[in-house]
Amino acid sequence: MTTDTTTQHQGIIPLPEKAARALVAIGAAATAISTFLAWTWTSEFPGDLTVTGYPGGLQVLALVGALLTLLFAAASYGIRGLRWLNPAGTDSPLLLLTLGLFGVVGYTVISITVELKGIVNLEPGAFVAAVAALAALVGALGLPVRRDNGDLTAPANAWETFRRAIAAAPARKPTRTLPSWVELLLIVVSFGIGLYVFTYGIDTAYAELFVGFLIVVAFGFAALTKSGLIARLTTLTTKHRNVTMAAAFTAAAAFPFTQNNDAYTSVGVNILVFATVALGLNVVVGLAGLLDLGYVAFLGVGAYTAALVSGSTSSALGIQFPFWAAALAGAGASLVFGVLIGAPTLRLRGDYLAIVTLGFGEIFRITMNNLNGTTGPDITNGPNGISNVPDLDMFGFNFGDSHDTGVNSLGRFGNYYLLMLVFTAIVVLVFRRAGESRIGRAWVAIREDETAATAMGINGFRLKLLAFALGASLAGLAGAVQAHVTYSVTPDQFEFAGTAPPNSAFLLAAVILGGMGTVSGPLIGASLLYLIPVKLQFMHDYQLLLFGLALILLMRFRPEGLVVNRRSKLEYHETDQLSVPAQLTLSDANVGTSKAGA
């Protein structure tokens, strides 16, 4: 017989539970209805919020947030057929969704007021939306905080109550076994939804819509995580790993076929280059635990090597390799530099190794500047770089031309996107195989405690050099494609902390933000760090400050990164596995110890 240790406290705002749930549902429904009303009278605000009868622009995002809130509100009532939405059985998803709904509505109302210079520019629909979203939030704040970990103490203040409401422990309900075909279908549908969300975000035409998109996605993803749906999906993807990888790359390959504007596809191919290099850095930082601050130099070595042998009119070598040979040359050159730099420096540890790698990155950039025929041999044209890198022509397929696919016209960047996706698949395969191998486990052992690993017979220096060389060669492979995508290679593309990624600071931030030691983490982190500055141009002068602030907040609230690694989660979060129960006194503990000794 088990006892129910679930306790119930009053919410942040003292409301009866039934009234709070009703207020959430009514507020979300009213917000959804308000999106079909005009929110402003003038079309000067982007998104056409002047129409009555259908939503537009930011109203669509508010409608999505309201419908999600209604669904979870219905699930919290225990309506049959919707309980699967909240397998954790807590009200945390409802609170997060109402926060996101109020955030996107409030942001829209404030943006209209500020950009059009006055609250008089708001139509009644905007006031209805603001009041309704606030009512839904108030209702969610009035929901009682449930705990199932035996904590019988009442929250000390409103902030503690709010923190507990967000971090409410899930009710551990048994997972229903599904047929295999249903599990596979869920995986495919999930990646289809992911493709649609990513396509919508990258296709946002103005900054206000992208900010609203970030608000809805951030709070929506947090709500799905707290509900337990993400955990169940993770279980399915782990069980069907090969199907998951195939579905992921199929969804990614479908992206350029959804675009009619090659400008958005150019963002996609640059994200892939950035993400692939970040995944290569993850071998060095995430698996082996080596802090490399000059990793972008290996990308530069691969890019310069491929540009020199590509047949460019500004190349000092004057030769043209087929692309496969140029790509292998770029990877090989980066591999050689990785060994040459790593051999004398990898006996250092911690900050000393970081400073040496940072110096290598700067030395590479300065050297490329000096090989201009004046201060050194004329090889790289100095700051002008190697330009006019020709488009690829493989098997009669010219990557610089547009090609009719029957669905759309696949432009130049769409062609290179698909090529880069093949290289990303290769890097993912190498990372997975290396991480799951005996060598990968040795890297993890070195990362956790090199002294203990050495005592167990692991050759730390040799394995660290292998990680350094492998990461460098993967970066060189991506650099070979980047040289053809950008038409030119210049030294300012490979700074430590330049104005645009990829650079060493952004690559390291992508690995930490996404989750060290994971496959999908650096891909997600790189996508966010590249896409946000591109869409929000006003952040250009403050992006390093904002990214630094984001990393500080991440280290405080989610140090393991966006994608959770089981080992990192256990390392960064306290557990009560070894703690003494609260009811056990010190004398009892001493008695138990003495008995055990006897």
* Max mean pLDDT range (18-32, 142-156, 545-559): 18-32
Looking at per-residue pLDDT, the higher value among 198 and 562 belongs to: 198
pLDDT tens track for 480-508: 999 988 888 888 888 877 666 677 888 88
* Domain segments of the chain as ranges: 7-176+205-214, 259-570
Q: How confident is the model at residue 514 (pLDDT cuts 50, 70, 90)?
A: confident
pLDDT tens track for 102-159: 999 999 999 999 999 889 899 999 999 999 999 999 998 888 766 544 444 445 455 5
Q: Give whole-number Cα distances, 543 to 293, 501, 514, 546, in Å.
A: 19, 11, 18, 5
Are 129 and 62 in contact by the 8 Å Cβ rule? The answer is yes
Rounded to whole angstroms, how far apart are CA atoms 16 and 11?
9
320 bridge partner residues: 310
Looking at per-residue pLDDT, the higher value among 453 and 499 belongs to: 453
Looking at per-residue pLDDT, the higher value among 497 and 312 belongs to: 312
Q: How confident is the model at residue 59 (pLDDT cuts 50, 70, 90)?
A: very high
Q: What is the mean pLDDT of the chain?
A: 82
pLDDT of residue 399: 86
Q: How confident is the model at residue 574 (pLDDT cuts 50, 70, 90)?
A: low
Among the listed residues 146, 227, 252, 239, the one whose alpha carbon sits nearest the alpha carbon of residue 187: 239
Q: How confident is the model at residue 432 (pLDDT cuts 50, 70, 90)?
A: confident
Among the listed residues 441, 22, 68, the one whose alpha carbon sits nearest the alpha carbon of residue 223: 68
Looking at per-residue pLDDT, the higher value among 172 and 452 belongs to: 452
- Report if pTM > 0.85: no
Q: Element (H or E) spanning 8, and its range?
A: strand 7-9
Residue 564 has pLDDT above 80, yes or no: no
Q: How confident is the model at residue 459 (pLDDT cuts 50, 70, 90)?
A: confident
pLDDT of residue 411: 85
pLDDT tens track for 354-401: 888 888 888 999 999 888 878 878 888 888 888 888 888 887 788 888
Phi and psi for 233 in degrees, rounded to 5? -65, -40
Across 229-233, 278-282, 515-519, 584-588, least confident range: 584-588
Q: How confident is the model at residue 569 (pLDDT cuts 50, 70, 90)?
A: low
Phi and psi for 8 in degrees, rounded to 5? -130, 130
* Max mean pLDDT range (91-105, 172-186, 309-323, 535-549): 91-105
Among the listed residues 507, 528, 518, 515, the one whose alpha carbon sits nearest the alpha carbon of residue 572: 515
Q: How confident is the model at residue 7 (pLDDT cuts 50, 70, 90)?
A: very low
Phi and psi for 398 in degrees, rounded to 5? -90, 120
Rounded to whole angstroms, how far apart are CA atoms 213 and 442?
42
pLDDT of residue 404: 82
pLDDT of residue 38: 92
- Return the percentage of the chain with pLDDT > 90, whole number: 26
Rounded to whole angstroms, how far apart are CA atoms 524 and 516?
12
Domain 259-570 is in which class? mainly alpha
pLDDT of residue 229: 87
pLDDT of residue 176: 65
Rounded to whole angstroms, how far apart are CA atoms 418 and 437?
29
How would DSSP label each residue in 210-229?
HHHHHHHHHHHHHHHHHHTH
Q: Please tell me what DSSP assigns to residue 198.
A: H
Sequence-distant (6+) residues with CB within 8 A of 586 are none
pLDDT of residue 205: 86
Residue 15 has pLDDT above 60, yes or no: yes
pLDDT of residue 335: 93
Q: Please tell me what DSSP assigns to residue 17.
A: H
pLDDT of residue 286: 86
Looking at per-residue pLDDT, the higher value among 425 and 6 belongs to: 425
Are 497 and 503 in contact by the 8 Å Cβ rule? The answer is yes
Rounded to whole angstroms, how far apart are CA atoms 222 and 225?
5
